[in-house]
């Protein structure tokens, strides 16, 4: 931030860099408008005469080194002016003072000299400046026409092959001014609205960031990551809008909403999600995580895999969404410690301890989701009789240790499920939610097990215990006890420290 100009605002910024060789001074001006401010934001005393010539080539380059770019150059120009013309000699060559009679100069008034000097100086500076200005204006018009033509062509291509840029007016009209009746969900970074685009004849979901200035990082992360991804089990991104201080993402509308609403609300109403859909959701989610972890050019760590971020299309296929916390890293590269972010109950123990998100932290979250699908229970919920908070992973592992893991199956299904598949899903869930990250299977291995291409992993009867070099800030038991003392009405608890 430089005074009143925020370099990360996303607004168009004009910069002027002026160097005056006579004063050996470099001035830098910044403004949101095209009018140059009176005072520079930065002044540096430096001699650049060695590097600047009357005729020279000028350019610049930059690199983000694989990171997401925050700025780009709309257009630029370079000009020099004010070079003094070569003054003529006062006396002709090869003429001595003695060969020509000395004639005293005609006296001229001081004011006349000054007047002519001003005219010469004005012509010497004004004409080149005018000529350069004409060239700049002509070049700007030509470049603008070319850019407009290129942008129009690229947008037409994007309508078919990728996300397009929507206008704020379009989205506001499609959501009836972001009316409360169009709200279909709330996420960590904003609200989701149902939108009807009458001109396109389509229905979409619009994600609106709750605080544009705070959600810019998450918005850019989600846009830059998901715009490059292509998989049948991802929520397709249709477009975006950055206008009037709003950060908006437009997604394909998912008719059946989120998995958690179908898994819990519908079950409570006597309409449980049928088994074939549940198993298919587990397979689809394993497939897309395999893609993100192992098949993309760079590894994508989602960091927020949970039932509320899994949407269901018209055929009840799983579609993973909400990449606001996602991170990209090179394959085989060690993760960097970050502030812990995610939802309690889905967070791997080592992530809570060290803050390092890897593919194995996503695998842990996937394991919890699988256990939810099989049991119909939330990751952490209050027991009806004892009113104690129970951790889902611990509860299923206890049943497994007693040799009756099948009793973890969702009672609301009334036994209408394939017992072999149910047991397989529960064992896969436990193997993925193993406290020891080294013992968790890769997502490709999970997919092979679910597709009957490999045998399930052997899950130990006793839940493994894990110790860290430093004391764990929150153990699973601490989490349960903390939730037990909480007065929050929901049974899930979110950590949002980023």
Q: Which residues are annotated as a binding site for ATP?
A: 207
Q: Residue 166: which of 88, 239, 102 has the closest Cα? A: 239
Q: Which segments of 291-378 does DSSP mark as H helices, in order?
A: 349-354, 359-375
The C-alpha atoms of residue 126 and residue 120 are separated, in whole angstroms, by: 10
Which one of 47, 304, 362, 410 is the catalytic residue?
A: 304
How wide is the angle at C-alpha 45 spanned by C-alphas 39 and 50, nearest 5°? 125
For residues 368 and 433, the answer to whether their CB atoms sit within 8 Å is yes
207 Cβ contact partners less than 8 Å away, ≥ 6 residues apart? 187, 190, 191, 192, 248, 249, 250, 251
The C-alpha atoms of residue 238 and residue 235 are separated, in whole angstroms, by: 9
18 is catalytic: no
Q: Which DSSP string corresponds to 169-222?
A: HHHHHHTTTT-GGGEEEEETTEEEEEEEETTTTEEEEEEEESSTTTSHHHHHHH
How wide is the angle at C-alpha 333 spanned by C-alphas 329 and 338, nearest 5°? 60
- Its sign, for the CA torsion 484, 489, 491, 495, is negative
Distances (CA, A) of 14 to 7, 32, 33, 68, 333: 11, 6, 7, 22, 38
- What is the number of alpha carbons within 13 Å of residue 494 lying toward its C-beta? 15
Going by the annotation, the residues of the binding site are 207
Q: Which segments of 376-418 does DSSP mark as H helices, in order?
A: 392-401
For residues 350 and 356, the answer to whether their CB atoms sit within 8 Å is yes
Positions annotated as catalytic residues are: 304
């Amino acid at each position: 931030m430089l005074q009143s100009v925020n370099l990360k605002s996303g607004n168009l910024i004009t910069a002027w860099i002026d160097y005056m060789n006579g004063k050996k001074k470099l001035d830098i001006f910044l403004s949101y408008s095209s009018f140059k401010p009176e005072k520079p934001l930065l002044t540096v005393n430096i001699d650049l005469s060695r590097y600047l010539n009357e005729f020279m080539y000028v350019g610049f380059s930059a690199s983000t080194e694989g990171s997401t770019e925050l700025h780009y150059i709309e257009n630029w120009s370079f000009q020099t002016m004010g070079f003094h013309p070569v003054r003529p000699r006062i006396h002709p060559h090869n003429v001595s003072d003695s060969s020509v009679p000395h004639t005293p100069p005609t006296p001229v008034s001081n004011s006349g000299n000054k007047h002519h000097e001003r005219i010469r100086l004005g012509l010497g500076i004004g004409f080149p400046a005018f000529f350069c200005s004409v060239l700049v204006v002509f070049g700007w018009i030509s470049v603008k026409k070319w850019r407009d033509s290129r942008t129009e062509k690229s947008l037409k291509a994007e309508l078919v092959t990728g996300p397009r840029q929507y206008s704020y007016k379009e989205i506001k009209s499609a959501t009836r001014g972001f009316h409360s009746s169009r709200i279909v969900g709330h996420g960590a970074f904003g609200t989701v609205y149902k939108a009807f685009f009458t001109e396109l004849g389509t229905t979409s979901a619009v994600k609106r960031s709750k605080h544009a200035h705070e959600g810019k990082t998450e918005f850019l992360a989600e846009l830059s990551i998901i715009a490059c991804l292509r998989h049948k089990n991802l929520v397709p991104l249709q477009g975006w809008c950055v206008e009037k201080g709003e950060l908006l993402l437009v997604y394909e509308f998912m008719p059946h909403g989120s998995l958690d609403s179908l898994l819990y609300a519908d079950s409570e109403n006597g309409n449980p999600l049928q088994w074939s859909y549940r198993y298919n959701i587990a397979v689809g989610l394993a497939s897309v995580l395999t893609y993100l972890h192992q098949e993309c050019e760079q590894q994508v760590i989602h960091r927020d895999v949970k039932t509320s971020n899994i949407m269901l299309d018209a055929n009840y296929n799983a579609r993973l969404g909400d990449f606001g916390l996602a991170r990209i890293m090179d394959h085989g590269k060690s993760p960097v410690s970050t502030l812990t972010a995610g939802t309690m109950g889905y967070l791997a123990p080592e992530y809570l301890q060290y803050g390092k998100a890897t593919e194995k932290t996503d695998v842990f979250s996937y394991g919890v989701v699988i256990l939810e699908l099989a049991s119909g229970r939330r990751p952490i919920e209050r027991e009806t009789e004892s009113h104690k908070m129970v951790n889902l992973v611990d509860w299923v592992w206890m049943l497994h240790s007693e040799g009756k893991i099948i009793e973890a199956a969702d009672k609301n299904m009334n036994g209408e499920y394939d017992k072999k598949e149910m047991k397989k899903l529960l064992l896969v869930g436990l193997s993925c939610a193993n406290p020891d990250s080294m013992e968790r299977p890769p997502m490709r291995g999970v997919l092979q097990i679910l597709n009957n291409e490999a045998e399930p992993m052997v899950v130990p009867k006793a839940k493994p215990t894990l110790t860290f070099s430093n004391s764990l800030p929150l153990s699973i038991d601490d989490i349960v006890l903390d939730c037990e003392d909480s007065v929050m009405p929901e049974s899930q608890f979110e950590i949002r420290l980023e």
